[in-house]
């Protein structure tokens, strides 16, 4: 059953308050209306497009970062709990894929995960010591990759971080990163 215009707009607003990272396509499917209708509803509600919503959240999170500049992070940082957990999103564009088959280059997924590990750790200097990664599924042009990082071990000089990346509900990448850290206050 389709909702009437105002009920649909109220429901869209509520959905985006719960999950600001929903795409217009997902909303279109959820409410059984065209993408253009969703865009018109968002415009009426003064809700920006997904990229602007992500950028707004990411800019807020950059203030928690010490070891890397916000513009050096390969993705948009959407949540960070320093030294515990973090999340980022990256939208796969034409310059991130192989021209022949529109499959994302592996170094894009690795860079997203690695820079998320650096951003997560609240130390002055953070470097990757080693990593073990697995590419589990192909990531295609226009996919959005959602990476989750979790500190699994916090040692005297090294922190181990587990990263899992997803496209929708499918895991596409897993990695374990051993990160060396140094802070002036610890010397």
Closest alpha carbon to 105 in 127, 118, 90: 90
Q: Selecting from 3.80.30.20, 1.20.1440.230, 3.10.110.10, 1.10.10.10, what CATH number does the domain 5-47 have?
A: 1.10.10.10
What's the rounded Cα separation, in Å, for the pair 155 and 12?
A: 45
What's the rounded Cα separation, in Å, for the pair 41 and 13?
A: 9
Give the pLDDT of residue 48.
Answer: 84
CATH topology of domain 58-186: Thiol Ester Dehydrase; Chain A (3.10.129)
pLDDT in tens, 151-169: 999 998 999 999 999 999 9
Residues of the chain with pLDDT under 50: 67, 187
Give the pLDDT of residue 67.
Answer: 45
Give the pLDDT of residue 180.
Answer: 95
Contact 104, 97 (CB under 8 A): yes
> What contacts 145, CB < 8 A, 6 or more positions away?
75, 89, 90, 91, 92, 104, 109, 112, 139, 165, 166, 167, 172, 173
DSSP structure string for 76-116? EEEEEETTTEEEEEEE--GGGB-TTT-BBPHHHHHHHHHHH
What are the structural domain ranges in the chain? Answer: 5-47, 58-186
* pTM assigned to the model: 0.71
Contact 123, 82 (CB under 8 A): no
Give the pLDDT of residue 105.
Answer: 96
pLDDT in tens, 40-63: 999 899 888 877 777 766 566 556
């Amino acid at each position: 059953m389709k909702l009437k215009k105002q009920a649909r707009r109220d429901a869209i607003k509520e959905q985006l308050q719960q999950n600001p990272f929903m795409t217009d396509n997902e909303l279109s499917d959820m409410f059984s209306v065209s993408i253009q209708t969703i865009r018109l509803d968002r415009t009426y509600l003064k809700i920006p497009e997904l990229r602007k919503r992500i950028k707004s959240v990411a800019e807020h999170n950059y203030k928690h970062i010490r070891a890397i500049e916000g513009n050096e992070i390969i993705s948009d940082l959407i949540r960070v709990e320093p030294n515990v957990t973090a999340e980022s999103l990256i939208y796969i564009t034409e310059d991130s894929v192989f021209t022949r088959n529109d499959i994302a280059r592996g170094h894009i997924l690795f860079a997203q995960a690695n820079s998320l590990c650096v951003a997560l750790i609240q130390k002055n200097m953070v470097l990757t010591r080693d990593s073990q990664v697995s590419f589990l599924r192909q990531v295609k042009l226009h996919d959005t990759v959602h990476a989750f990082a979790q500190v699994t071990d916090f040692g005297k000089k090294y922190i181990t971080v587990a990263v899992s990346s997803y496209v929708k509900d499918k895991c596409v990448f897993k990695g374990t990163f051993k990160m060396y850290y140094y802070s002036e206050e610890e010397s």
